Amino acid sequence: MTGPATSPEIRVTAYVFERVFGSAPATVLRAPAALALLDGLSVALPWGAVVAAGRTGDGSTALYSMNHHTDRVTTPSDAPHWGREPIAALRAHSDPVPGVRLLVNRELPAETGLLTGAETYHATALALRRLHGPPAT
């Protein structure tokens, strides 16, 4: 997962996850951002969002952002603006929300306007699927 052939962003995200939560992540996934062009066409960008995830044994939820490192979320109801997409993915995955630790790394600053949040949602959804299996229907 974090060998020499792995991208630097994935390695850094896994490292920060371990520093923040005290254990290595179970999975680290990346979703590219898309740039909308004319006529509904879009192209994938080389930047996006990286999400590192790990299970919690007590069913609690913890969310941390490398881009907003002063904000740490422990319950989905107190999520700041940057936590909307990961929390939406958590709620869409199952109810109740599974016990999980998430670390989000958006590869571009929000001020660029190139990241829509969809990449963060999808990276989170993929990580949850890998941790907990397919979403509950």
Residue 127 has pLDDT above 80, yes or no: yes
**What pTM value is reported for the model?**
0.83
Pick the CATH number of 8-131 from 3.30.70.100, 3.40.630.30, 3.30.230.10, 3.40.190.290: 3.30.230.10
Question: 61, 76 in Cβ contact below 8 A?
Answer: yes
pLDDT per residue as tens digits for the range 37-85: 888 788 888 788 999 999 988 888 888 988 876 666 666 666 677 778 8
Question: What tokens appear for 75 in the block?
Answer: 């319950």
At 111 the pLDDT is: 60
Between the ranges 22-26, 98-102, 105-109, where is the mean pLDDT highest? 22-26
Residue 96 has pLDDT above 90, yes or no: no
Beta 100-106 vs 42-55: how paired, if at all?
Answer: antiparallel
For the chain, the straight-line distance linking the first and the last C-alpha, in angstroms and rounded, comes to: 30
Average pLDDT on 7-23 reads 93
Which residue matches tokens 């923040």? 20
Query: Residues with Cβ < 8 Å from 123, sequence gap 6 or more?
Result: 29, 30, 31, 48, 49, 50, 51, 104
Dihedral sign for Cα atoms in the order 112, 114, 118, 124? negative
At 46 the pLDDT is: 79
